[in-house]
Amino acid sequence: MELKGAITALVTPFRNNELDEERFRQHIEWQIEQGVSGLLPCGTTGESATMSHQEHKDVIRICIEQTAGRVPVLAGTGSNNTSEAIELTDYAKEAGADAALLITPYYNKPTQAGLFAHYQAIAQAVSLPQVVYNVPGRTGINLLPETLARMQREIPEVIGVKEASGNINQISQIIEACGREFNVLAGEDFITLPLLSQGGKGVISVVSNVAPRLMADLCEAFHSRQIDRAIDLHYQLAPLYRAMFFETNPIPVKTALAQMGRMDLELRLPLVPMQQENETKLRKVLQECGLT
């Protein structure tokens, strides 16, 4: 299974503390119309940490229904509880997801051997392609390239990684150890072009929530060897890369979508609305990028 291009880490629209299904379906449809290569429900950007299990399952189901096979759906099913990750991954498989995105266990701080055992246990319980999500800044643990290479060799379900360490050298080591057929995807938008230049496949993107066409075009330009165009798009997107992290993700991206009129702004505690100064800066970036 090859995963490439811009895969959107979908926000989850809420209204009155409930899933806003209509807006969610509209957002999915817009993403596909704009040319993204895949969709990820229930990731960090989707506020999965504050969803109930039922909401988590509903969001995955709705995304799969609305997508209707037009692009791959990677369901976020990770947990720091291996049994919980197995339960959510099993549901995603039954619902028709193409793959699961599984974050490294957070807070527990397992050893590298513990990380391997976690993913192996999930694969033994549920045979569904796995994309491992390495984001040390949120989890407190870094999945090392040699551990990932061992997973690739010994766990057939492990088909790729969302690499959000921000470490270019580590990305290079992963591709060197796992080969260019392995689906190495950027976990941070700003690193998309450098990752592609090292042999990576694409990005699981926050920015593509607000600028799906531009992110899709950047990846497509690189893969079609239009390198100058890819570089131009990288710098065109650079202000958005920064703006989406003026505060903790997904606060800025949901605020941006509200400013664009695409959904209501509603976050779940402990996330709160942006500080006014940052919201004003965000509005200016969106205006300068022609998005409002």
Positions marked catalytic = 133, 162
**Rounded Cα–Cα distance for residues 98 and 187 (Å):** 19
- 74-76/99-103 β-pairing: parallel
Question: Which one, of 37, 29, 35, 30, lies nearest residue 203 by Cα?
Answer: 37
Q: How far is CA 176 from CA 51, 180, 182, 224, in A?
A: 37, 8, 10, 22
Provide the residue type at 36 as one letter: V
CA dihedral 21, 22, 25, 26 (to 10 degrees): -150
First to last CA, the chain: 37
Contact 151, 112 (CB under 8 A): no
**Rounded Cα–Cα distance for residues 18 and 94 (Å):** 24
**Rounded Cα–Cα distance for residues 157 and 120 (Å):** 9
CB neighbour list of residue 133: distance below 8 Å, 6 or more residues apart: 43, 78, 101, 102, 103, 104, 161, 162, 164, 187
**Rounded Cα–Cα distance for residues 136 and 131 (Å):** 16
**Rounded Cα–Cα distance for residues 218 and 37 (Å):** 12
